[in-house]
Amino acid sequence: MRAMLLEAPGKPLRLVDLPVPKPNSEQLLIRVHACAVCRTDLHIVDGELAHPKLPLIPGHQIVGTVEAVGEKVKFFHSNPSSDESVLEGLRVGVPWLGRTCNHCRYCLSGRENLCDRAEFTGYNLDGGYAEYAVADYRYCFEIPPGYPDVQAAPLLCGGLIGYRAYRMTGDAEKIGFYGFGSSAHILIQLARYQGRQIFAFTRSGDIKGQEFARQLGAVWSGSSEELPPEPLDAAIIFAPIGKLIPAALRAVAKGGVVVCAGIHMSDIPSFPYEILWEERILRSVANLTRRDGEEFLALAPKVPIRTQINLFPLSQANEALNALRNGEIEGSAVLFTQEDKQ
């Protein structure tokens, strides 16, 4: 199979030919059709997330079809009535969370996203920048019908982890999105469906991004250096920029919550206690749980959520990462391996 391989942080991925992986007893062999490009991939490639498996095939927003199953695969977790005889040909998605221990205090209390022994797709485990991938069947999701492969791929991280962050805002009616990329362009559709108002913040001078947010229904869009026209009930920080935390705290009303949705962020500058006081809450979101995935993928077709995509062939993964690094992606970047791009 062809794959894009990371051999050392800070170096471009290299297109290589590798053997097709063989699934172990609890894995699915998946023919990859599409894999969305995430900012976390960029953090791994640029060396901002330490200690990835090397060499590594990145990518954790995988959509493909099952070609083979391990001997212990007896059902698909989102469809317990299924069995291995009908899994081949099933269209599945593989997210960031690739494996947990299933017996620590976090796993047993519904917080498997915090498992100390968790392993992650495209970081500790080879991912989807390839023509084939293997994944533990217990952590895969069946893709809802009606979503083409390339449209479904961004739902598996931009959507899932964005959804977890969005849920942390509770019943907030006015929510600020700091950074309007893949996650934000997905979650604004859910927010509008639920009758909430979104205020979009982009980098200074990003007129195109601000217009994109308004087209998707933002009631206001502007620079992250500005205050919104009215106090917010909550804010989600999607951009990996620490100085946005004090900005968001100043923008939320008393009792408001600021949620940091990224896995990596630049250093947070000091800020006066008065902008945290009055019961404002600052919290982070780490990874995702399988329950997040099941809830969101059941909800997405009801909205319905539609992703805006920028397509790149697998061999152009470096170009896709550079476009993301330079802020040139409107919506989501997606790598495809199928000629029909479906």
Q: What is the pLDDT, as a whole number, of residue 340?
A: 45
Q: What is the pLDDT, as a whole number, of residue 74?
A: 74
User: 8 burial class (0-12, 13-18, 19+ CB within 10 angstroms)?
Assistant: exposed
**How does pLDDT run across 80-105, given as a tens digit for each residue?**
555 545 688 899 999 999 999 999 99
* 194 residue type, one letter: Q
Q: What is the pLDDT, as a whole number, of residue 70?
A: 92
Rounded Cα gap, residues 303 and 231, in angstroms? 27
**How does pLDDT run across 204-241, given as a tens digit for each residue?**
999 999 999 999 999 999 999 999 999 999 999 999 99
Question: CB of 54 within 8 A of CB of 8?
Answer: yes
Q: What is the pLDDT, as a whole number, of residue 292?
A: 96
User: Could you give all domains of the chain from N- to C-terminal order, each with its CATH number?
Assistant: 2-155+288-336 (3.90.180.10), 169-284 (3.40.50.720)
Q: Taking CA 234 as the corner, what is the angle to CA 329 and CA 141, rounded to the nearest 5 degrees?
A: 55
Q: What is the pLDDT, as a whole number, of residue 83?
A: 52
Rounded Cα gap, residues 200 and 208, in angstroms? 12
Kindly report the length of the chain.
342
Rounded Cα gap, residues 268 and 183, in angstroms? 22
Q: What is the pLDDT, as a whole number, of residue 107?
A: 97
Give per-10-residue mean pLDDT for the chain (342 aa): 97 98 96 97 94 97 96 67 66 96 97 97 98 96 93 96 96 97 96 98 94 97 96 97 98 98 94 97 96 95 96 97 94 83 53
Q: What is the pLDDT, as a whole number, of residue 78?
A: 54
